[in-house]
Amino acid sequence: MDVPSMMRQSTAFHRDRIAVITEETTLTFGEMWTRGVRLANALRDLGIEPGDRVAGLEDNTLAAADLFLGAAIAGAVRVPLYARNSAESHAHMVGQTGTKVVLADQAYADTVVDLPSTVESVAHVVVRDDGYEKWLADQSDVDPEIDVDSDAWYIIRHSAGTTGKPKGIGYTQHDWLVNCRNWFYRLPNLRWGSVVGHAGPISHASGYLFLPAWLHGSTNLLFGAFEPGKVLDLMERHAVTHMFAPPSMVQMLAADPTASERDLPALECILVGGAPITDATALAGRAVFGDVFYQVFGQTEAVPLTVMTPAEWFGEHAGSTPMRSAGRVLPFARVQVRDEEGTVLPLGAEGELWAQVEGQMREFWGDPELTGTRLVDGWIRTRDIGRIDENGFVYILDRADDMIVSGGFNIWPAELETIINDHPQVIEVAVFAVPHEKWGETPMAMCAVAEDATVTEQEIIDLVRDRAGSYKKPGRVAFTTDPLPKSVVGKLLRKSLRDRYWTDGQRVSGA
């Protein structure tokens, strides 16, 4: 099976149903398919052949949905770019994948317009300016009906690049279909009339929900650039049933002063993923929206690995602490904890998580050496350190490269961050290793606080000592009123903070 033929079949079944809603318009499956066909023919006229790479740089706009369809219909391999990335990162991602055509929203055009002169593979940059709709309307509406093999490449997604340059990860047509199907396995079923809202961009994590909604005949609602009040308005107006949102967006939605007054009786599921979520954010979201929160865990290389329902997340289960977990292993995924030699460890032991799941990555694009180190005998080495309890709950302790070794003890920054985040005056915190004359290295906590905060270094040290033990307490604590550095998908960039305290390459892990 391939993506375009499955989407084409759904279009035939649901031609007059509502397929896509945006801030400005509502389109049926038939109308949306015609837009996708026109874009596919435009790409073909620009020299795109099946298997060629096409990149998109966009918000959750109608044009983003155009590319979702158009690239598939043309048999092109879609390369999503991150709107918050730099021009340098865009150049790396399109150059590394040999992308031929880039389509960009006008708001981001200045970061990609020079690519044809700086990246050898890029032949065209299409800017979606005021002339985009006319340009699209001038293209042929005859479906090219290109045959696409199920093992042909469908998409190249990039890792977030928290410890280096983003790495391209390729998925085939078949793998993307089964991957997206698995995302919905433990979520409320889709129906005719279901409305799937996309707070995060469909070019990335939220896109895993776009295709299942299309294939089922449900509606995809694109909120555009994220604004909490606007998102809540559209959720209420269009009776959203399902939605994906990273923790940062959940926090902003729950904190909106109008959120608790909203009439959202249709809401069944807010799927949270993409970054760790604090207890405070999860509980605040639940207080406002009710028992609709599900959590998903995985990484671009292998996802989804776990899903946690509201009853599991906020319930009591003997032998488990769900609020500390990243969910329960999905029935169609295998997750093991292994030691440094690759030996499988028993339940409850700590080690590196290895995973197998339908639709996992087949390779790091153009990097067979890295592929060989991370894809071993059909298993993905996640580089996440964690444990699994007897109920199947997975606990992520940290990234392997972020472990702090202080006086012979292993300390996981994420554990300390969870504790420090409970302090009412700490907005966010990053914990990382800094040099220590006696212990080699020690944890340092960088806390973002409000300008009128009164919290002290000793309060933070005492909090960690009391909750986690003396050997884990930070050796240093610093405060800032600025937001902490994050990747384009909202993950803390501990490395950028850590590197300020190490000179001459003293500490190379995570590089």
Residue 16 placed within a domain: no
The structure tokens listed for 359 are 């639709």
Whether the pLDDT of residue 271 is over 70: the answer is yes
Residue 216 placed within a domain: no
Q: What is the pLDDT of residue 3?
A: 97
Residue 165 placed within a domain: yes
pLDDT band at 408, cuts 50/70/90? low
Q: What is the pLDDT of residue 510?
A: 33
Instruction: Find the helix or strand (DSSP H, E) in which 137 lies.
Output: helix 132-137
Centroid of chain to Cα 356 = 19
Block residue for tokens 């290295």? 441
**Half-sphere exposure (CA, 13 Å, Cβ side) for 241?**
15
For residues 382-407, give the mean pLDDT: 85
pLDDT band at 505, cuts 50/70/90? very low
CA 174, CA 49: separation in Å to the nearest integer? Answer: 19
Residue 105 placed within a domain: yes
Strands 18-21 and 26-28 come out as: antiparallel
Count Cβ neighbours within 10 Å for each residue of 28-37 and write b for 16 or more, e otherwise.
bbeebbbbbb
Q: What is the pLDDT of residue 430?
A: 93
The structure tokens listed for 40 are 């596919």
Whether the pLDDT of residue 471 is over 60: the answer is yes
Q: What is the pLDDT of residue 507?
A: 46
For residues 215-224, give the mean pLDDT: 97
Do the Cβ atoms of 244 and 199 come closer than 8 Å? yes
Residue 356 placed within a domain: no
pLDDT in tens, 458-467: 999 999 988 8
**Half-sphere exposure (CA, 13 Å, Cβ side) for 314?**
16
CA 166, CA 321: separation in Å to the nearest integer? Answer: 33
Per the DSSP assignment, residues forming a β-bridge with 84 are: none
For residues 297-317, give the mean pLDDT: 95
Whether the pLDDT of residue 484 is over 80: the answer is yes
Residue 313 placed within a domain: no
- ∠ CA 395-269-307 to the nearest 5 degrees? 25
Centroid of chain to Cα 103 = 21
Q: What is the pLDDT of residue 509?
A: 36
For residues 16-22, give the mean pLDDT: 98
Q: What is the pLDDT of residue 162?
A: 43
Residue 384 placed within a domain: no
**CA distances to 17, 189, 195, 482, 483 from 450, in Å:** 48, 42, 38, 9, 10
End-of-domain residue from the set 154, 174, 194 = 174
End-of-domain residue from the set 147, 174, 201 = 174
Q: List the alpha helices (DSSP H) in 341-399.
A: 368-374
For residues 284-302, give the mean pLDDT: 95
Do the Cβ atoms of 75 and 50 come closer than 8 Å? yes
End-of-domain residue from the set 174, 202, 229 = 174
- Give the rounded percent of residues in the chain with a pLDDT score beyond 70: 95
For residues 49-58, give the mean pLDDT: 97
pLDDT band at 490, cuts 50/70/90? low
| CB neighbour list of residue 469: distance below 8 Å, 6 or more residues apart | none
CA 331, CA 327: separation in Å to the nearest integer? Answer: 12
Structural domain tally of the chain?
2
Q: What is the CATH number of the domain that holds 421?
A: 3.30.300.30
pLDDT band at 511, cuts 50/70/90? very low
Strands 195-198 and 219-222 come out as: parallel
Q: Which of 237-241, 260-264, 467-471 has the lowest mean pLDDT?
A: 467-471
Q: What is the pLDDT of residue 489?
A: 60
For the chain, the distance separating the N- and C-terminal CA atoms, rounded to the nearest angstrom, is 39
Residue in 497, 487, 494 with CA at minimum distance from that of residue 83: 487
- Give the rounded percent of residues in the chain with a pLDDT score beyond 90: 74
Between residues 225 and 452, the one the model is more confident about: 452
Centroid of chain to Cα 110 = 25
Between residues 99 and 505, the one the model is more confident about: 99
Residue 85 placed within a domain: yes
Burial class of residue 2 in the structure, from the number of CB atoms within 10 Å of its CB (0-12 exposed, 13-18 middle, 19+ buried): buried
Block residue for tokens 């991602």? 93
**CA distances to 16, 67, 179, 446 from 217, in Å:** 10, 19, 18, 47
Q: What is the pLDDT of residue 329?
A: 97
What stretches of 1-100 adopt beta strand conformation (E)?
A: 18-21, 26-28, 53-57, 77-80
Strands 426-436 and 440-449 come out as: antiparallel
pLDDT band at 503, cuts 50/70/90? low
Block residue for tokens 């994050």? 486
Block residue for tokens 């090219």? 144
The structure tokens listed for 163 are 């410890």
Q: Which of 26-40, 160-174, 193-207, 476-490 has the lowest mean pLDDT?
A: 160-174
pLDDT in tens, 355-365: 999 889 999 99
Do the Cβ atoms of 59 and 201 come closer than 8 Å? yes
Got the DSSP string for 487-500? -TTS-B-HHHHHGG
Residue in 225, 160, 172 with CA at minimum distance from that of residue 199: 225
Block residue for tokens 């270094």? 457
Do the Cβ atoms of 375 and 334 come closer than 8 Å? no
Nearest 5°: phi and psi at 392? 90, 10
Longest dimension (CA), the chain: 72
CA 112, CA 94: separation in Å to the nearest integer? Answer: 10
pLDDT in tens, 119-144: 999 999 999 999 999 999 999 999 99
Q: What is the CATH number of the domain that holds 69?
A: 3.40.50.12780
Domain range enclosing 62? 1-9+26-174
Q: What is the mean pLDDT of the chain?
A: 91
